[in-house]
Structure 1
Amino acid sequence: MSLFSWLRPATPLLAEDLQLRLQRLPLGAELRECSLREQRWVVLDLETTGLNLNKDRVLSIGAVVIEDGAIDFSQQFERTLQCVDMKLAPSMLIHGLGPSAIAAGSDPAEALLEFMEFLGDSPVLAFHAPFDQHMLGRALKDHLGYKLQHPFLDVADIAPLLCPQANIREAGLDEWIDWFKLEVFERHNASADALATAELALILFSRARQQQIHSPLNLQQRISQWKRRQRAPSF
Protein backbone atom coordinates (compact mmCIF):
# COMPACT_ATOMS: atom_id res chain seq x y z
CA MET A 1 0.00 0.00 0.00
CA SER A 2 1.42 3.39 -1.01
CA LEU A 3 1.70 6.38 1.25
CA PHE A 4 -0.83 8.26 -0.87
CA SER A 5 -3.50 5.61 -0.37
CA TRP A 6 -3.56 6.59 3.31
CA LEU A 7 -4.22 10.20 2.35
CA ARG A 8 -7.17 9.47 0.10
CA PRO A 9 -10.57 9.01 1.79
CA ALA A 10 -11.83 5.46 1.54
CA THR A 11 -14.56 4.79 -1.01
CA PRO A 12 -17.73 3.73 0.83
CA LEU A 13 -18.56 0.04 0.55
CA LEU A 14 -22.12 -0.16 -0.75
CA ALA A 15 -24.45 -3.10 -1.17
CA GLU A 16 -24.97 -4.13 -4.79
CA ASP A 17 -28.55 -2.85 -4.93
CA LEU A 18 -27.43 0.59 -3.70
CA GLN A 19 -24.65 0.66 -6.28
CA LEU A 20 -27.12 -0.11 -9.08
CA ARG A 21 -29.50 2.61 -7.91
CA LEU A 22 -26.61 5.06 -7.64
CA GLN A 23 -25.59 4.34 -11.23
CA ARG A 24 -29.14 5.06 -12.42
CA LEU A 25 -29.27 8.54 -10.89
CA PRO A 26 -29.69 11.28 -13.51
CA LEU A 27 -27.11 14.02 -13.70
CA GLY A 28 -28.12 17.45 -12.47
CA ALA A 29 -29.31 19.44 -15.47
CA GLU A 30 -28.01 22.93 -16.13
CA LEU A 31 -30.50 25.75 -15.69
CA ARG A 32 -32.54 26.28 -18.83
CA GLU A 33 -34.39 28.97 -20.75
CA CYS A 34 -37.77 27.44 -19.93
CA SER A 35 -40.17 29.57 -17.90
CA LEU A 36 -39.91 29.70 -14.11
CA ARG A 37 -43.34 28.07 -13.99
CA GLU A 38 -42.35 25.16 -16.22
CA GLN A 39 -39.25 24.29 -14.18
CA ARG A 40 -39.53 21.62 -11.50
CA TRP A 41 -37.73 22.94 -8.40
CA VAL A 42 -36.79 21.01 -5.27
CA VAL A 43 -36.75 23.25 -2.20
CA LEU A 44 -34.33 21.85 0.36
CA ASP A 45 -33.59 22.38 4.04
CA LEU A 46 -31.13 20.48 6.21
CA GLU A 47 -30.80 20.19 9.96
CA THR A 48 -27.22 19.60 11.05
CA THR A 49 -25.23 19.02 14.23
CA GLY A 50 -23.84 22.56 13.90
CA LEU A 51 -22.52 25.11 11.44
CA ASN A 52 -18.97 23.83 10.96
CA LEU A 53 -18.71 22.98 7.27
CA ASN A 54 -15.94 20.44 7.79
CA LYS A 55 -16.89 18.69 11.01
CA ASP A 56 -20.65 18.85 11.53
CA ARG A 57 -23.04 16.33 10.01
CA VAL A 58 -26.45 16.24 8.38
CA LEU A 59 -29.16 15.08 10.78
CA SER A 60 -32.29 15.44 8.69
CA ILE A 61 -33.39 16.30 5.16
CA GLY A 62 -36.63 18.05 4.32
CA ALA A 63 -37.74 18.93 0.80
CA VAL A 64 -40.81 19.95 -1.15
CA VAL A 65 -41.39 20.40 -4.88
CA ILE A 66 -42.51 23.50 -6.77
CA GLU A 67 -43.99 22.51 -10.11
CA ASP A 68 -46.40 24.21 -12.50
CA GLY A 69 -46.12 27.38 -10.43
CA ALA A 70 -47.31 25.85 -7.17
CA ILE A 71 -46.15 23.74 -4.25
CA ASP A 72 -46.93 20.10 -5.04
CA PHE A 73 -47.83 18.58 -1.68
CA SER A 74 -47.85 15.11 -3.23
CA GLN A 75 -44.09 15.45 -3.68
CA GLN A 76 -42.50 15.87 -0.25
CA PHE A 77 -39.44 14.29 1.30
CA GLU A 78 -38.42 13.93 4.93
CA ARG A 79 -35.78 11.70 6.50
CA THR A 80 -33.84 11.68 9.75
CA LEU A 81 -30.38 10.19 9.32
CA GLN A 82 -29.21 7.63 11.84
CA CYS A 83 -26.25 8.69 13.94
CA VAL A 84 -25.47 6.20 16.68
CA ASP A 85 -22.76 8.29 18.37
CA MET A 86 -24.83 11.46 18.54
CA LYS A 87 -24.12 13.63 21.56
CA LEU A 88 -26.13 16.49 22.97
CA ALA A 89 -25.36 19.71 21.11
CA PRO A 90 -26.63 23.29 21.24
CA SER A 91 -28.29 22.80 17.83
CA MET A 92 -30.71 20.32 19.45
CA LEU A 93 -32.39 23.25 21.18
CA ILE A 94 -33.29 24.59 17.73
CA HIS A 95 -34.22 21.53 15.68
CA GLY A 96 -35.43 19.35 18.57
CA LEU A 97 -33.84 16.17 17.25
CA GLY A 98 -32.65 14.27 20.29
CA PRO A 99 -30.22 11.32 20.44
CA SER A 100 -33.00 8.72 20.56
CA ALA A 101 -34.72 10.06 17.42
CA ILE A 102 -31.43 10.19 15.55
CA ALA A 103 -30.38 6.72 16.67
CA ALA A 104 -33.70 5.43 15.29
CA GLY A 105 -33.29 7.25 11.98
CA SER A 106 -32.70 5.86 8.50
CA ASP A 107 -29.38 4.46 7.33
CA PRO A 108 -27.56 7.55 5.96
CA ALA A 109 -26.58 5.93 2.66
CA GLU A 110 -30.16 4.76 2.03
CA ALA A 111 -31.69 8.10 3.05
CA LEU A 112 -29.30 10.12 0.90
CA LEU A 113 -29.84 7.86 -2.09
CA GLU A 114 -33.62 8.15 -1.67
CA PHE A 115 -33.27 11.93 -1.63
CA MET A 116 -31.21 11.94 -4.82
CA GLU A 117 -33.84 9.77 -6.50
CA PHE A 118 -36.49 12.25 -5.32
CA LEU A 119 -34.38 15.17 -6.59
CA GLY A 120 -33.86 13.71 -10.06
CA ASP A 121 -32.25 16.25 -12.37
CA SER A 122 -34.04 19.26 -10.84
CA PRO A 123 -32.26 22.38 -9.61
CA VAL A 124 -32.33 23.11 -5.89
CA LEU A 125 -33.63 26.14 -4.02
CA ALA A 126 -32.55 26.74 -0.43
CA PHE A 127 -32.20 29.60 2.01
CA HIS A 128 -28.46 30.17 2.53
CA ALA A 129 -27.94 27.58 -0.19
CA PRO A 130 -24.11 27.42 -0.06
CA PHE A 131 -24.31 25.87 3.40
CA ASP A 132 -26.87 23.22 2.39
CA GLN A 133 -25.00 22.54 -0.85
CA HIS A 134 -21.72 21.99 0.96
CA MET A 135 -23.18 19.85 3.75
CA LEU A 136 -25.24 17.71 1.38
CA GLY A 137 -22.29 17.33 -0.99
CA ARG A 138 -20.03 16.22 1.83
CA ALA A 139 -22.58 13.72 3.14
CA LEU A 140 -23.09 12.26 -0.34
CA LYS A 141 -19.35 11.88 -0.83
CA ASP A 142 -18.81 10.32 2.60
CA HIS A 143 -21.70 7.84 2.48
CA LEU A 144 -22.12 7.15 -1.25
CA GLY A 145 -18.92 8.29 -2.94
CA TYR A 146 -21.18 10.52 -5.05
CA LYS A 147 -20.28 13.99 -6.35
CA LEU A 148 -23.12 16.49 -6.14
CA GLN A 149 -23.34 18.56 -9.33
CA HIS A 150 -26.89 19.95 -9.27
CA PRO A 151 -27.29 23.73 -9.55
CA PHE A 152 -28.37 25.53 -6.36
CA LEU A 153 -30.02 28.95 -6.19
CA ASP A 154 -30.00 30.87 -2.92
CA VAL A 155 -33.35 32.35 -1.88
CA ALA A 156 -31.37 34.57 0.52
CA ASP A 157 -29.89 36.23 -2.61
CA ILE A 158 -33.07 36.21 -4.69
CA ALA A 159 -35.10 38.09 -2.06
CA PRO A 160 -32.91 41.23 -1.74
CA LEU A 161 -32.22 41.19 -5.49
CA LEU A 162 -35.92 41.44 -6.29
CA CYS A 163 -37.02 43.42 -3.22
CA PRO A 164 -34.33 46.04 -2.56
CA GLN A 165 -36.94 48.27 -0.94
CA ALA A 166 -37.05 45.85 1.99
CA ASN A 167 -33.52 46.98 2.91
CA ILE A 168 -32.87 43.70 4.78
CA ARG A 169 -30.12 42.17 2.66
CA GLU A 170 -28.54 40.21 5.53
CA ALA A 171 -31.90 38.99 6.84
CA GLY A 172 -32.64 35.43 7.78
CA LEU A 173 -35.66 33.41 6.72
CA ASP A 174 -37.73 34.68 9.66
CA GLU A 175 -37.23 38.33 8.64
CA TRP A 176 -38.37 37.68 5.07
CA ILE A 177 -41.36 35.69 6.32
CA ASP A 178 -42.32 38.67 8.48
CA TRP A 179 -41.72 41.18 5.68
CA PHE A 180 -44.04 39.31 3.31
CA LYS A 181 -46.51 38.64 6.18
CA LEU A 182 -46.53 34.91 5.50
CA GLU A 183 -48.44 32.72 7.93
CA VAL A 184 -45.97 30.03 8.97
CA PHE A 185 -47.13 27.85 11.84
CA GLU A 186 -43.99 25.78 12.33
CA ARG A 187 -40.27 26.47 11.99
CA HIS A 188 -36.85 25.01 12.71
CA ASN A 189 -37.32 21.52 11.42
CA ALA A 190 -36.22 20.56 7.94
CA SER A 191 -39.65 19.94 6.39
CA ALA A 192 -41.28 23.03 7.87
CA ASP A 193 -38.38 25.26 6.84
CA ALA A 194 -38.38 23.81 3.31
CA LEU A 195 -42.11 24.57 3.04
CA ALA A 196 -41.63 28.14 4.33
CA THR A 197 -38.79 28.65 1.83
CA ALA A 198 -41.00 27.32 -0.98
CA GLU A 199 -43.79 29.76 -0.09
CA LEU A 200 -41.29 32.61 -0.13
CA ALA A 201 -39.85 31.40 -3.46
CA LEU A 202 -43.27 31.47 -5.13
CA ILE A 203 -43.76 35.10 -4.14
CA LEU A 204 -40.28 35.90 -5.45
CA PHE A 205 -40.93 34.13 -8.76
CA SER A 206 -43.96 36.40 -9.22
CA ARG A 207 -41.75 39.42 -8.51
CA ALA A 208 -39.17 38.07 -10.96
CA ARG A 209 -41.69 37.88 -13.79
CA GLN A 210 -42.76 41.47 -13.04
CA GLN A 211 -39.10 42.46 -13.44
CA GLN A 212 -38.77 40.66 -16.79
CA ILE A 213 -36.90 37.65 -15.37
CA HIS A 214 -38.66 34.75 -17.00
CA SER A 215 -36.34 31.73 -16.92
CA PRO A 216 -34.19 29.88 -14.37
CA LEU A 217 -31.07 30.68 -16.40
CA ASN A 218 -31.96 34.37 -16.54
CA LEU A 219 -32.56 34.38 -12.79
CA GLN A 220 -29.16 32.78 -12.17
CA GLN A 221 -27.50 35.40 -14.40
CA ARG A 222 -29.22 38.27 -12.61
CA ILE A 223 -28.16 36.90 -9.22
CA SER A 224 -24.53 36.71 -10.42
CA GLN A 225 -24.66 40.29 -11.70
CA TRP A 226 -26.24 41.52 -8.45
CA LYS A 227 -23.59 39.78 -6.32
CA ARG A 228 -20.80 41.32 -8.40
CA ARG A 229 -22.31 44.77 -7.84
CA GLN A 230 -22.55 44.10 -4.10
CA ARG A 231 -18.85 43.22 -3.97
CA ALA A 232 -17.73 46.20 -6.06
CA PRO A 233 -16.03 48.95 -4.03
CA SER A 234 -18.04 52.11 -3.58
CA PHE A 235 -16.34 55.48 -3.98
Structure 2
Amino acid sequence: MNLFRWLNPSKRNVAPELTAEQQLRLRALSGPGVLDQRTLRQQRWVVVDVETSGLNLDRDEVLSIGAVVIEDGAIDFSQQFERTLMRTDHKLSPSVLIHGLGPSAIAAGSEPVDALLDFMTFVGDSPLLAFHAAFDEHMLGRALKESLGHRLLHPFLDVAHIAPFICPDANLRQAGLDDWTRFFGLHAEERHHASADALVTAELALILFSHARRVGIESPAQLEQGLAKWRRQQQVHSF
Protein backbone atom coordinates (compact mmCIF):
# COMPACT_ATOMS: atom_id res chain seq x y z
CA MET A 1 0.00 0.00 0.00
CA ASN A 2 1.20 3.51 -0.77
CA LEU A 3 2.32 4.94 2.61
CA PHE A 4 1.50 8.51 1.61
CA ARG A 5 -2.05 7.53 0.63
CA TRP A 6 -2.45 5.60 3.89
CA LEU A 7 -1.36 8.63 5.92
CA ASN A 8 -3.50 10.94 3.77
CA PRO A 9 -6.69 9.05 2.83
CA SER A 10 -8.15 12.18 1.28
CA LYS A 11 -5.37 12.21 -1.32
CA ARG A 12 -7.09 9.89 -3.79
CA ASN A 13 -5.68 11.45 -6.93
CA VAL A 14 -2.39 9.54 -6.79
CA ALA A 15 -1.96 7.82 -10.16
CA PRO A 16 -2.41 4.04 -9.82
CA GLU A 17 0.46 1.79 -10.86
CA LEU A 18 -0.67 -0.53 -13.66
CA THR A 19 1.25 -3.22 -15.49
CA ALA A 20 1.80 -2.86 -19.22
CA GLU A 21 -0.94 -5.42 -19.88
CA GLN A 22 -3.37 -3.59 -17.61
CA GLN A 23 -2.59 -0.30 -19.35
CA LEU A 24 -3.36 -1.91 -22.71
CA ARG A 25 -6.66 -3.25 -21.39
CA LEU A 26 -7.52 0.16 -19.95
CA ARG A 27 -6.89 1.91 -23.27
CA ALA A 28 -9.01 -0.69 -25.05
CA LEU A 29 -12.11 -0.04 -22.95
CA SER A 30 -15.15 1.23 -24.84
CA GLY A 31 -16.40 4.73 -24.25
CA PRO A 32 -19.99 5.32 -23.15
CA GLY A 33 -22.75 4.91 -25.68
CA VAL A 34 -25.53 7.42 -26.19
CA LEU A 35 -29.12 6.85 -25.15
CA ASP A 36 -30.75 7.25 -28.54
CA GLN A 37 -33.92 6.48 -30.46
CA ARG A 38 -33.40 2.74 -30.85
CA THR A 39 -36.16 0.84 -29.05
CA LEU A 40 -35.92 -0.20 -25.43
CA ARG A 41 -35.84 -3.78 -26.69
CA GLN A 42 -32.95 -3.11 -29.08
CA GLN A 43 -30.80 -1.51 -26.38
CA ARG A 44 -28.32 -3.68 -24.49
CA TRP A 45 -28.54 -2.81 -20.79
CA VAL A 46 -26.19 -3.85 -18.01
CA VAL A 47 -27.95 -4.17 -14.66
CA VAL A 48 -25.48 -3.88 -11.79
CA ASP A 49 -25.40 -4.13 -8.02
CA VAL A 50 -22.48 -3.66 -5.65
CA GLU A 51 -21.88 -4.80 -2.10
CA THR A 52 -19.65 -2.56 -0.01
CA SER A 53 -17.86 -2.48 3.32
CA GLY A 54 -20.38 0.11 4.52
CA LEU A 55 -22.44 3.08 3.42
CA ASN A 56 -19.85 5.83 3.76
CA LEU A 57 -19.41 7.23 0.25
CA ASP A 58 -15.88 8.47 0.91
CA ARG A 59 -14.32 5.76 3.06
CA ASP A 60 -16.00 2.44 2.37
CA GLU A 61 -14.98 0.16 -0.49
CA VAL A 62 -16.61 -1.97 -3.15
CA LEU A 63 -16.36 -5.61 -2.07
CA SER A 64 -18.29 -7.34 -4.84
CA ILE A 65 -19.90 -6.55 -8.18
CA GLY A 66 -22.74 -8.49 -9.76
CA ALA A 67 -24.27 -7.73 -13.15
CA VAL A 68 -26.61 -9.24 -15.72
CA VAL A 69 -27.50 -8.18 -19.24
CA ILE A 70 -30.87 -7.31 -20.73
CA GLU A 71 -30.77 -7.74 -24.50
CA ASP A 72 -33.47 -8.34 -27.12
CA GLY A 73 -36.13 -7.75 -24.50
CA ALA A 74 -34.98 -10.49 -22.11
CA ILE A 75 -32.34 -11.31 -19.51
CA ASP A 76 -29.45 -13.00 -21.30
CA PHE A 77 -28.21 -15.61 -18.82
CA SER A 78 -25.18 -16.25 -21.01
CA GLN A 79 -23.97 -12.76 -20.08
CA GLN A 80 -23.49 -12.56 -16.34
CA PHE A 81 -20.74 -11.00 -14.25
CA GLU A 82 -19.70 -11.64 -10.66
CA ARG A 83 -16.50 -10.70 -8.86
CA THR A 84 -15.44 -10.41 -5.25
CA LEU A 85 -12.63 -7.88 -4.88
CA MET A 86 -9.61 -8.69 -2.76
CA ARG A 87 -9.13 -6.23 0.09
CA THR A 88 -6.11 -7.28 2.15
CA ASP A 89 -6.84 -4.79 4.94
CA HIS A 90 -10.57 -5.54 5.13
CA LYS A 91 -11.86 -5.90 8.69
CA LEU A 92 -15.01 -7.44 10.06
CA SER A 93 -17.81 -4.85 9.99
CA PRO A 94 -21.57 -4.78 10.63
CA SER A 95 -22.15 -4.91 6.86
CA VAL A 96 -21.03 -8.57 6.92
CA LEU A 97 -24.34 -9.38 8.61
CA ILE A 98 -26.07 -8.10 5.46
CA HIS A 99 -23.96 -9.37 2.56
CA GLY A 100 -22.07 -12.21 4.27
CA LEU A 101 -18.68 -11.28 2.81
CA GLY A 102 -16.26 -11.94 5.64
CA PRO A 103 -12.52 -11.20 5.72
CA SER A 104 -11.56 -14.66 4.38
CA ALA A 105 -13.85 -14.31 1.34
CA ILE A 106 -12.50 -10.83 0.61
CA ALA A 107 -8.88 -11.91 1.02
CA ALA A 108 -9.49 -14.66 -1.56
CA GLY A 109 -11.08 -12.29 -4.08
CA SER A 110 -9.80 -10.95 -7.39
CA GLU A 111 -7.19 -8.21 -7.57
CA PRO A 112 -9.26 -4.97 -7.78
CA VAL A 113 -7.55 -3.61 -10.91
CA ASP A 114 -8.22 -6.79 -12.87
CA ALA A 115 -11.75 -7.16 -11.49
CA LEU A 116 -12.65 -3.61 -12.48
CA LEU A 117 -11.08 -4.00 -15.93
CA ASP A 118 -13.10 -7.21 -16.36
CA PHE A 119 -16.26 -5.37 -15.35
CA MET A 120 -15.79 -2.44 -17.71
CA THR A 121 -14.94 -4.84 -20.55
CA PHE A 122 -18.19 -6.66 -19.76
CA VAL A 123 -20.12 -3.37 -19.79
CA GLY A 124 -18.71 -2.22 -23.14
CA ASP A 125 -20.56 0.90 -24.26
CA SER A 126 -23.89 -0.14 -22.70
CA PRO A 127 -25.87 2.05 -20.32
CA LEU A 128 -26.17 0.88 -16.72
CA LEU A 129 -29.23 0.25 -14.58
CA ALA A 130 -29.32 -0.14 -10.81
CA PHE A 131 -31.77 0.24 -7.95
CA HIS A 132 -30.83 3.35 -5.97
CA ALA A 133 -28.28 3.92 -8.70
CA ALA A 134 -26.65 7.00 -7.18
CA PHE A 135 -24.92 4.83 -4.56
CA ASP A 136 -23.71 2.19 -7.04
CA GLU A 137 -22.59 4.85 -9.52
CA HIS A 138 -20.63 6.76 -6.88
CA MET A 139 -18.96 3.69 -5.39
CA LEU A 140 -18.07 2.21 -8.78
CA GLY A 141 -16.87 5.57 -10.04
CA ARG A 142 -14.65 6.04 -7.01
CA ALA A 143 -13.25 2.51 -7.28
CA LEU A 144 -12.47 2.99 -10.98
CA LYS A 145 -10.80 6.33 -10.33
CA GLU A 146 -8.67 5.05 -7.44
CA SER A 147 -7.69 1.70 -8.98
CA LEU A 148 -7.47 2.58 -12.68
CA GLY A 149 -7.43 6.35 -12.94
CA HIS A 150 -10.54 5.84 -15.09
CA ARG A 151 -13.60 8.08 -15.08
CA LEU A 152 -17.02 6.42 -15.24
CA LEU A 153 -19.05 8.30 -17.87
CA HIS A 154 -21.64 5.71 -18.88
CA PRO A 155 -25.32 6.64 -18.55
CA PHE A 156 -26.63 5.29 -15.25
CA LEU A 157 -30.41 5.07 -14.82
CA ASP A 158 -32.13 4.44 -11.51
CA VAL A 159 -34.80 1.73 -11.47
CA ALA A 160 -35.97 3.19 -8.14
CA HIS A 161 -36.96 6.30 -10.12
CA ILE A 162 -38.18 4.52 -13.24
CA ALA A 163 -40.71 2.52 -11.20
CA PRO A 164 -42.74 5.40 -9.69
CA PHE A 165 -42.35 7.43 -12.89
CA ILE A 166 -43.83 4.67 -15.04
CA CYS A 167 -46.31 3.37 -12.42
CA PRO A 168 -47.49 6.41 -10.42
CA ASP A 169 -50.74 4.69 -9.45
CA ALA A 170 -48.77 2.15 -7.41
CA ASN A 171 -48.28 4.89 -4.77
CA LEU A 172 -44.85 3.51 -3.85
CA ARG A 173 -42.74 6.62 -4.37
CA GLN A 174 -40.27 6.01 -1.52
CA ALA A 175 -40.30 2.22 -1.89
CA GLY A 176 -37.34 -0.11 -1.81
CA LEU A 177 -36.53 -3.02 -4.07
CA ASP A 178 -38.46 -5.47 -1.88
CA ASP A 179 -41.56 -3.27 -2.07
CA TRP A 180 -41.54 -3.18 -5.86
CA THR A 181 -40.82 -6.89 -6.22
CA ARG A 182 -43.80 -7.64 -3.97
CA PHE A 183 -45.97 -5.21 -5.92
CA PHE A 184 -45.28 -7.01 -9.18
CA GLY A 185 -45.33 -10.48 -7.64
CA LEU A 186 -41.66 -11.22 -8.23
CA HIS A 187 -39.82 -13.74 -6.08
CA ALA A 188 -36.25 -13.03 -5.01
CA GLU A 189 -34.37 -16.23 -4.18
CA GLU A 190 -31.72 -14.30 -2.30
CA ARG A 191 -31.20 -10.68 -1.27
CA HIS A 192 -28.17 -8.53 -0.40
CA HIS A 193 -25.99 -10.56 -2.72
CA ALA A 194 -24.73 -8.55 -5.68
CA SER A 195 -25.62 -11.03 -8.43
CA ALA A 196 -29.03 -11.90 -6.93
CA ASP A 197 -29.93 -8.23 -6.46
CA ALA A 198 -28.84 -7.43 -10.02
CA LEU A 199 -31.03 -10.26 -11.32
CA VAL A 200 -34.18 -9.20 -9.49
CA THR A 201 -33.53 -5.57 -10.53
CA ALA A 202 -33.30 -6.75 -14.15
CA GLU A 203 -36.61 -8.62 -13.81
CA LEU A 204 -38.21 -5.48 -12.42
CA ALA A 205 -36.70 -3.36 -15.22
CA LEU A 206 -38.20 -5.64 -17.89
CA ILE A 207 -41.66 -5.25 -16.37
CA LEU A 208 -41.20 -1.47 -16.26
CA PHE A 209 -40.02 -1.35 -19.89
CA SER A 210 -43.21 -3.18 -20.87
CA HIS A 211 -45.31 -0.64 -18.97
CA ALA A 212 -43.26 2.20 -20.48
CA ARG A 213 -44.13 1.10 -24.01
CA ARG A 214 -47.81 1.12 -23.08
CA VAL A 215 -47.61 4.80 -22.16
CA GLY A 216 -45.71 5.74 -25.32
CA ILE A 217 -42.11 5.58 -24.09
CA GLU A 218 -40.39 3.56 -26.79
CA SER A 219 -36.71 4.48 -26.63
CA PRO A 220 -33.90 4.93 -24.10
CA ALA A 221 -33.75 8.63 -25.03
CA GLN A 222 -37.46 9.08 -24.29
CA LEU A 223 -37.03 7.25 -20.99
CA GLU A 224 -34.12 9.44 -19.96
CA GLN A 225 -35.96 12.63 -20.92
CA GLY A 226 -39.13 11.53 -19.12
CA LEU A 227 -37.16 10.66 -16.00
CA ALA A 228 -35.44 14.05 -15.98
CA LYS A 229 -38.80 15.81 -16.19
CA TRP A 230 -40.27 13.57 -13.47
CA ARG A 231 -37.33 14.30 -11.12
CA ARG A 232 -37.78 18.05 -11.62
CA GLN A 233 -41.46 17.71 -10.74
CA GLN A 234 -40.61 15.75 -7.60
CA GLN A 235 -38.21 18.47 -6.50
CA VAL A 236 -40.88 21.14 -6.99
CA HIS A 237 -43.45 19.12 -5.03
CA SER A 238 -40.99 18.54 -2.17
CA PHE A 239 -40.86 22.24 -1.33
TM-score surpassing 0.5?
yes
Q: Which moved more, 1:82-91 or 1:195-204?
A: 82-91
Q: What does the per-residue CA deviation read over 1:134-179, in whole Å, with 9 as the maximum and x for residues that have no partner?
A: 0000000000000110000000000000111111111110010111
Per-residue deviation, 1:187: 1.2
Aligned CA distance change for structure 1 residues 125 and 8 (closer, same or farther; 3 Å):
closer
| 2:169 match | 165
| 2:97 match | 93
1:133 to 129, 137, 140: 137
What are structure 2's unaligned runs of at least 5 residues?
A: 1-7
1:107 to 99, 106, 111: 111
| 1:17 match | 21
Per-residue deviation, 1:43: 0.1
Aligned CA distance change for structure 1 residues 234 and 104 (closer, same or farther; 3 Å):
closer
| 2:3 match | none
Q: Which moved more, 1:178-187 or 1:135-144?
A: 178-187
RMSD of aligned residue pairs (Cα, Å): 1.3
In 2, Cα distance between equivalents of 1:14 and 1:82: 16
In 2, Cα distance between equivalents of 1:21 and 1:198: 28
In 2, Cα distance between equivalents of 1:73 and 1:10: 38
The TM-score with structure 1 as length reference comes to 0.96
Per-residue deviation, 1:9: 2.0
| 1:181 match | 185
What SS does the corresponding residue of 1:223 show, helix, strand or coil?
helix
Aligned length, in residue pairs:
230
Aligned CA distance change for structure 1 residues 8 and 108 (closer, same or farther; 3 Å):
closer
Letter in 2 for 1:21: R
Aligned CA distance change for structure 1 residues 112 and 192 (closer, same or farther; 3 Å):
same
Whether the 8 Å CA contact 2:12–2:146 is kept in 1: the answer is no
Q: What does the per-residue CA deviation read over 1:179-217, in whole Å, with 9 as the maximum and x for residues that have no partner?
A: 111022111100000000000000000000001000001
**Identity fraction in percent:** 65
In 1, Cα distance between equivalents of 2:37 and 2:209: 15
Q: Which moved more, 1:225-234 or 1:101-110?
A: 225-234
| 2:83 match | 79
Q: What does the per-residue CA deviation read over 1:16-41, in whole Å, with 9 as the maximum and x for residues that have no partner?
A: 00000100111011211100000000
In 2, Cα distance between equivalents of 1:220 and 1:35: 13
Per-residue deviation, 1:10: 1.1
Q: How does 1:1-80 map to 2 (within 5 A)?
A: 9-80=13-84
Kindly indicate whether residue 225 of structure 2 is the aligned counterpart of residue 225 of structure 1: no
Per-residue deviation, 1:233: 4.2
The TM-score with structure 2 as length reference comes to 0.94
Letter in 2 for 1:34: R
What SS does the corresponding residue of 2:224 show, helix, strand or coil?
helix
Kindly indicate whether residue 187 of structure 2 is the aligned counterpart of residue 190 of structure 1: no
Letter in 2 for 1:60: S
In 1, Cα distance between equivalents of 2:101 and 2:32: 30
In 1, Cα distance between equivalents of 2:49 and 2:13: 27
What SS does the corresponding residue of 1:122 show, helix, strand or coil?
coil
| 1:3 match | none
What SS does the corresponding residue of 1:232 show, helix, strand or coil?
helix
Per-residue deviation, 1:68: 0.1
What are structure 1's unaligned runs of at least 5 residues?
A: 1-5
| 1:119 match | 123
| 2:208 match | 204
